[in-house]
Amino acid sequence: MMFHSVCFAASLPVKPSSYTGFIPDEGSFANRVLIYNFAVHDSGTVTEYDNSTGKNYWTDAGSSAATGCYRGLSRSDGCTDYYFFFPTVTSQVYNFVMTVPGGGCSVYLVNKNGVIIKDLTDNILDVELGDYHTYGVSFYAANNWYGVCFAVSHSSSTAPFYGEFMEGYYKSSYFDSIIDNLPYMPGFYDGTGTAVRYMGYDVANVTIPSMGLGYAVFPTFVGDLGGSGATFTFKFHNPSVSVKSDKLYTLNYSSILDSLIISIDGNDYVHALDSGYSASEATHNFDLSFTPTSTSLADLNFTLKISLKHSGFVLEFVSSSSTDIGVTPTPGGDDDSGSSGGNYSSALSNISSQLDDLLSGMGTNTTTIVNNITNATTTITNTITNTVTQMTTNITNALSDVKQGISDTIDSAKESINTTLNGVKDDINGKLDQVQNSVNDAVEKQTNSLLDGLKNFFIPSDDFFKSYFDDLSDFFADRFGFLSLPFELVGRVVDVFSDASSADFVVTLPALTIMGESIWSDQSFNLTDLIESDFGFLIVASHTVTNIILLFWFINLCTDKWNEVMNL
């Protein structure tokens, strides 16, 4: 029986942007169905169906966990519908949480060069089975396709995934272990007509005459395997089959980005086997190591093209920065009784178990470390926040004090300056007033002196006439004797009337002398003083009345005189 090898590699990215599955096929045989074993943890299952022999290798779920693959109906034309789904994650009801609109799943058929030749997205079926949602794709095998690529992305709204993977699903250690188990390849080979299963990928000799080689995909990520600079190694070891030394092992990259596969071939990763290897060697391992030179290939997949004439080796993928990932045997089906497959199955089971324990411990430790880091970060954050707050408060208070001190100093200086300036201003004003007064006095004095000089030059002084006439009066009185009496009387009469306002009413009682004896001396009584002191109001009233009478009399006099002059 001729049976073609089938292998599948899947990539479950950490980011919920996509996951891919790749089913390589040489495509040279029509009646063949590729059944995908979605390597989801402990549900490793390989199902195959050989239409030419009618032998069904369908194994269904090979483990106790939820089946990762479901085989559908076999069609008369040799095609078989198949479905795949994820098991439910512990503590999660569904693997998928279809709550976020915009998510999508796309399925493409690709050729060996990674070129999409058919879009199967519209063929995706969504079947809800209890706690599961299964997503199946039905397609025909053909000569011109080489595999199927599953890509889940949230860029498509047409796919049945109406949401993204639940975030918790990806963060669970359970799922992480799935990722870590992905690098190796489930595969099988039937070089002798007997179903023999090996883990890894065996592109067997003549069974692919047209291609002469096969390839497998190692879906993993540089970041997951140690990041940039890590060394990755493909290990081929098969104790039962020697490796030809004259064959060339070529390692190529291929990257699936946005559902497009990019193959990168390079001589750097071409290694010729040592000629010392011989078929007689009981065991022989050879490694292909490489170090990615670019970190841009975040979604790096490794495609290994091997042109071997021998089969039956196990392929491992090892990162220098991580633990050597063991090989987990694919659960065997009806024909899982190969000559060497059993040994490897046992070994791989042990390795897988150890790996699970290790990952579980790592998960616990990781959780503890993360919690510690979180607590430490919180403490540091709080401390820094409190310190910054305290520093801010202190700085604010200090600035306020400094500001107040500066303000007080400025006010004090301002007041002092104002006081000084006011003093200087007052002094200046005083000096200016003194100068001005001095100037005014000098000018006034000189002016008065000048005016007095001019006046005295033309006009006699005020006392001149009085002294002048007094002198003349005395001269005439002295020279003319009693002849000057009339003039004197006139002057005295004038004086009497001019001094009338200050004249007092004085009653004089003459002295009485009899026989030369003075009986009493003369006595004067100033009645004006007496009346003004005791009856001043009567004088005021009398003056008011008499003034009015005199005024009317004068008016009457003016009227009569007017009439007289005008002859009225």
Partner 1 sequence: MILESVFNLFSSAVKLIFGWIDIPDLPASVDSVIDSLFEYVSSGIGFLAIFLDMDFVLLLLPFVLVVSNFEKVYKLTMYVLRKIPFLGID
Binding footprint of partner 1 on the chain (CB under 8 A): 456-461, 464, 468, 471-472, 475-477, 479-483, 485, 489, 492, 496-501, 503-508, 527-528, 531, 539, 542-543, 546-547, 550-551, 554, 557-558, 561, 565
Nearer to partner 1, 94 or 476 (CB): 476
Contact 139, 105 (CB under 8 A): no
Nearer to partner 1, 282 or 565 (CB): 565
Name the phi and psi angles at 364, rounded to 5.
Answer: -65, -50
As a 3-state breakdown, the chain gives helix, strand, coil percent values, each rounded to 5, of 40, 20, 40
Task: Determine the 3-state secondary structure of 126 from DSSP.
Answer: strand
Nearer to partner 1, 206 or 568 (CB): 568
Nearer to partner 1, 384 or 530 (CB): 530
How many whole angstroms separate alpha carbon 125 and alpha carbon 527?
A: 151
What H or E segment, with its residue span, contains residue 384?
helix 341-458
Give the nearest distance from C-beta 553 to partner 1 in angstroms.
9
Q: Which residues contact 110 (CB under 8 A, 6 or more apart)?
A: 22, 116, 117, 145, 146, 147, 148, 149, 261
Nearer to partner 1, 128 or 564 (CB): 564
Give the nearest distance from C-beta 529 to partner 1 in angstroms.
10
Give the nearest distance from C-beta 514 to partner 1 in angstroms.
20
Give the nearest distance from C-beta 472 to partner 1 in angstroms.
6
Phi and psi based region of residue 114 (left: phi greater than 0; alpha: psi -120 to 50; beta: remaining): left
Give the nearest distance from C-beta 434 to partner 1 in angstroms.
37
How many whole angstroms separate alpha carbon 250 and alpha carbon 265?
A: 9
Q: DSSP string covering 178-199, please?
A: HHHHTTS-EEEE-TTSS-EEEE
Nearer to partner 1, 15 or 561 (CB): 561
Give the nearest distance from C-beta 446 to partner 1 in angstroms.
20
Give the nearest distance from C-beta 477 to partner 1 in angstroms.
8
Nearer to partner 1, 227 or 460 (CB): 460
Query: How far separated are the first and last CA of the chain, in Å rounded?
Result: 181
Nearer to partner 1, 520 or 553 (CB): 553
Instruction: Using alpha carbons, list the distances in angstroms from residue 1 to 55, 159, 337, 409.
Output: 10, 39, 16, 107
Give the nearest distance from C-beta 464 to partner 1 in angstroms.
6
How many whole angstroms separate alpha carbon 303 and alpha carbon 500?
A: 153
Give the nearest distance from C-beta 444 to partner 1 in angstroms.
23
Nearer to partner 1, 267 or 492 (CB): 492
* Structure tokens given for 322: 């991580």
Q: Which residues contact 67 (CB under 8 A, 6 or more apart)?
A: 43, 45, 60, 61, 85, 87
Contact 68, 88 (CB under 8 A): no
Nearer to partner 1, 376 or 503 (CB): 503
Q: CA nearest 10: which of 21, 2, 1?
A: 21
Give the nearest distance from C-beta 445 to partner 1 in angstroms.
21
Contact 300, 183 (CB under 8 A): no
